[in-house]
Structure 1
């Protein structure tokens, strides 16, 4: 149940229900780092977030949030989700340094994708015009 009046905000750690999932996606009731601001999340009922896990594997897009208990933000697992339907519960916040590092790694991934697409002749335009 979403706490009345709560709207996820940038830097919040929230617990969400990620089912259903497909393929290699994370599933179950798990934490996520909110990237989008409350002014976006509230009116739309959606939030942009990165999943978190306690299973540290040393992947390049993991950003360590805590050593005790261990947790990492998966900067390559960016999702846009209905936070009300997924019953968001605020559990804490990350440090400004962690948030900055997650954003930097997510941006790096986005830029790498754009460079790859450009080199292969793909259209990466975000325009909806025909």
Structure 2
């Protein structure tokens, strides 16, 4: 279930059009983030929900997010969400190195993560 897949055209558009937010942060792909809720020069946004873009039951996603939260304990993080229209998916905003975030995201079958550096536009990092 945790297999990373190359994104479809529709998935690429959905990621690019989504608004990513957490307390003290709002981000859109291709734009500088508004706010900065954690220490450090870079943040990553990652989720454990809906691996490989396949919708899972809310209860299953909640268990996966709890598991990911346990692995984030060494790093400062906040709970947030990615939103597009009526679709909302929980995510974590984490002050962690990008390489470590990619490892965790792959472990949870995510297709991409959002990387944000101070003073630069938010960007997608595809994992396939």
Larger relative contact order, structure 1 or 2 (CA cutoff 8 Å, min sep 6)? 2
Q: Which has the larger radius of gyration?
A: 1
Greater fraction of residues in helix: 2
Task: Please report the TM-score for the alignment, with normalisation by the length of structure 1.
Answer: 0.24
